[in-house]
Each structure stands twice: as C-alpha cells, then as structure tokens.
Amino acid sequence: DRLLLMNGPNINMLGKREKEFYGEFTLADIEQDITSLAKNHGFELDTFQSNHEGELVDRLQQADGQYVGVVFNPAAYTHTSIALRDAIAAIDTPVIEVHISNVHQRENFRHHSMLAPVCYGQIVGLGRVGYRMAALAFMENN
Ligand code: DQA
C-alpha cells in the first residue's frame, strides 16, 4: 500500500520562511519523518512539492486509484484554487488537507478553504505533527 505526501507553494522554503508560524524544520525533515512513519506501518510513501497550481492538478489526477490517500498541504492555493478543488472532487483517492499553522488565528483570507468541502478531513495548527496525524488516519483506516 502507498501514500502520497504533497506540498504546495513556498513549502520548499520551510526552515527559512516566517519561522514564527512554521517553525525551524524543513520540507526534507517532514518528508523523512513521514517516510519512516509509513515504513513502520508497512506503507510506501511518494512525495511531491510544487509552486505551480497546474503541476499540483496533474499530480492529483495521476494519483487517482494509486494511493490509499493523499496528505496535502496546498499552502496559499487552499484559499484560492477552484482547479485544485475540482481535481480533488474528480478523483476517488481521499485527500486530507494539512496546515502547519493555525490559519484561524491569522488573517481573514486564510480562514476560508476552497478545498475542505471536497476533502476527507482537515488538520490545522499542529505543526509538523499534523502531517503525521493525517498519514496515521489513512494507515489505520486501511
Ligand atoms: C499554510 C497556511 C497557508 O495560509 C499559507 O499560505 C501557507 C502555509 C500552513 O501550512 O499553515 O503557505 O498552508
């Protein structure tokens, strides 16, 4: 069984960007973390990060039927992307939306998710642990 970990724009800047919201850890730290968590549960993990909306749409389409679930931090596209929402709605593979920061404590424009209504679940504000919780939710249900 396989899981897909996807991250959207500027998540490749973790460790440098706005540490007060996102902490000191890097994308590589998260990917290593979830790879070993998956392995311990007998799952394989694929990872993908892109700063480009269309590439994220393409990867979701390719993921259809290939994974037990997709752990996805869509970053800023959360708040804007009808294309990502339609891609998630189009595929049978369930998606959990993850945010490192508590978006509800931040600017109003971060309070609304275009994607949450078509996602299986959502995790916000738990830092890097949020990715672990999402991966566990898929692995323990499969
Ligand atoms: C984020 C929250 C978004 O509002 C923001 O645009 C990000 C990261 C988070 O993980 O907290 O880039 O998705």
Domains identified in the chain and CATH numbers: 2-140 (3.40.50.9100)
pLDDT at 121: 98
Closest CA to 127 of 13, 14, 2: 14
Atom of ligand 1 nearest to the CA of 99: 10
Indicate if ligand 1 lies below 6 Å from the C-beta of 57: no
Model-wide pTM > 0.95 = yes
pLDDT tens-digit profile of 10-30? 999 999 999 999 999 999 999
pLDDT tens-digit profile of 82-122? 999 999 999 999 999 999 999 999 999 999 999 999 999 99
Whether residue 10 is annotated as binding a ligand: the answer is: no
Q: Tell me which residues are annotated as active site.
A: 22, 99
pLDDT at 98: 98
Q: How confident is the model at residue 141 (pLDDT cuts 50, 70, 90)?
A: confident
Q: If 0-12 CB within 10 Å is exposed, 13-18 middle and 19+ buried, where does residue 8 land?
A: buried
ipTM above 0.90, yes or no: yes
Q: How confident is the model at residue 42 (pLDDT cuts 50, 70, 90)?
A: very high
Indicate if ligand 1 lies below 6 Å from the C-beta of 103: yes
